[in-house]
Amino acid sequence: MDVRLRERLTAIVGERNALWKPGDLRSYGYDASIERALPEMVVLPQDAQQTAAIVAACREAKVPFVARGAGTGLSGGAIAELGGVVIATVHLNRILEIDDRNLFAVVEPGVVNSGLCAAVAGRGLRYVPDPSSMAACTIGGNVAENSGGLHCLAYGVTANHVLGVELVTAEGDIVWLGGKTRENYGYDLLGAFIGSEGTCGIATKICVRLCPLPAGSKTMLCVFDDIDGASQAVSDIISSGIVPAALEMMDKTATGAIEEFAHAGFPVDAAAILIVEADGPDDVADEITAAVRAVCERNGAREVRIARDAAEAARIWKGRKAAFGAMGRLSANYYVQDGVIPRSRLPQVLRDVEAAGAREGLRIANVFHAGDGNLHPLILFDDRVPGELDGALRAGAEILEACVRNGGSITGEHGVGIEKRDCMPLQFSPDDLALMRRVRATFDPDGSCNPGKIFPTSRRCGESARRVERGEVDPRVARAAGAAF
């Protein structure tokens, strides 16, 4: 990196908040994905004005920059693949306002999701989107990825709970999109920004919608000896008009690892379990749980258990949230995917997932937001064993092909980032992608804001095309991930 830019950035944030030594940079060279790349410098601004000054300096020097929250992302979105500067939001961590009459809060992007939830709970309120990583992930990262969570089936994902964002544009200006009210007029630029994965600017303040805590809730554990039966139960629950607050599913491989780790009370011999939560007053929750029980029993559930008290319910949810961490008991590494499918296609696609793992000789654990059709297959591998990483990547691409083939999407909440960028043509035509590029260019005309994310790279796409020409790939799934080809 040019010494003059390094000195300029150091002057903006101070020496303690400017990192460029290799040992310091190493911690910023990865996220929760399998991608790795070191930045040339990391800066930790204190406020929006410093963030804007950093961006302006990078733009003048023609150096790319990447915003980073807690680094819990699963698609490589916060990795500086092309070098440049990482702008870490760790010091932008204040809750600036809580308005319990108008049901909103204003926070900085480095506020941890669970910290916001704890801050408003005493007022009888909650911030609904609750990713499994909520104890560590930040609101800014949630906005960048349009994160979902365990309780988004009935209440919606991050985009449904953000009213406005103050952001630093790629040109170093500070602007607001949206505000503190639910009705905003004109073009929905806020909607374009949420889920843009840091490619359209850096959020420095976020106005989020708060909701009253439910009057009560009941948590159910539904146990199946047949994974098709559990899958069909999910589809039947939603199609019958029942919309629980949460509807999660995991298979035997996942429950075995989780139970050893979290002692949640999961049966380790079951083929699959469903975790269902019903919100509302007792009579409403009782009605929902009775209807869910009936559907599950029709589909072969061997047991339907309702948590006796809040402590048992908490253990069940602790087990669900511990799923990814528990995979370390099964394998040295895992590669998590994030496809979405229509719920009615669950039985077929789960068979496709199993087949993809079998072809590569790898185990796959399934833990996912079943009510949303948002799959999270965890492909288990050991990167010390030659060929296993490549096999995991091939299996992952095959799973995404199956999702798209069955009417779904390549991502639900983890983002595209580096990991899935070469899968974008599976789902979008060249014209679709060209339009997306034009939208991005409106926000970031120089392409300096988190470059290399979302859009396919010519090298990998070219290899895909050559395999199509050789007849090795079905043209309907020609535009697949470079890792798979």
The answer, yes or no, to whether residue 482 has pLDDT greater than 90, is no
Q: Where are the beta strands (DSSP E) in 225-340?
A: 246-251, 272-279, 301-306, 333-336
Torsion of CA 468, 474, 476, 481, to 10 degrees: -60
Instruction: Mark residue 131 as left, alpha or beta (left: phi above 0; alpha: psi -120 to 50; beta: remaining).
Output: beta
Location of each CATH 3.30.465.10 domain in the chain: 95-212
What pLDDT is stored for residue 72 in this prediction? 96
This prediction's pTM? 0.92
Average pLDDT, integer, range 453-457: 94
Tell me the pLDDT tens digit for each residue of 366-411. Answer: 999 999 999 999 999 999 999 999 999 999 999 999 999 999 999 9
Instruction: Tell me the pLDDT band of 458, cut-offs 50, 70 and 90.
Output: low
Location of each CATH 3.30.43.10 domain in the chain: 3-88
Average pLDDT, integer, range 120-149: 96
Tell me the pLDDT tens digit for each residue of 233-247. Answer: 999 999 999 999 999
What pLDDT is stored for residue 232 in this prediction? 95
What pLDDT is stored for residue 407 in this prediction? 96
Amino acid letter, 274: L
| Nearest CA-CA partner of 42 in 13, 2, 75, 77 | 13
Query: Mean pLDDT in the chain?
Result: 93
Domain 217-326, CATH 3.30.70.2190 — does that match? yes
Location of each CATH 3.30.70.2190 domain in the chain: 217-326
The answer, yes or no, to whether residue 1 has pLDDT greater than 70, is yes
Average pLDDT, integer, range 146-153: 94
Average pLDDT, integer, range 52-76: 97
In the CATH scheme, what architecture does the domain 95-212 have? 2-Layer Sandwich (3.30)
Distance CA(75)–CA(245), nearest Å, equals 27
| CATH number attached to the domain at 3-88 | 3.30.43.10
Name the 3-class secondary structure at 431.
Answer: helix
The answer, yes or no, to whether residue 5 has pLDDT greater than 50, is yes
**Inter-axis angle of helices 48-61 and 3-13, to 10 degrees?**
170
* DSSP β-ladder status, 217-224 and 246-251: unpaired
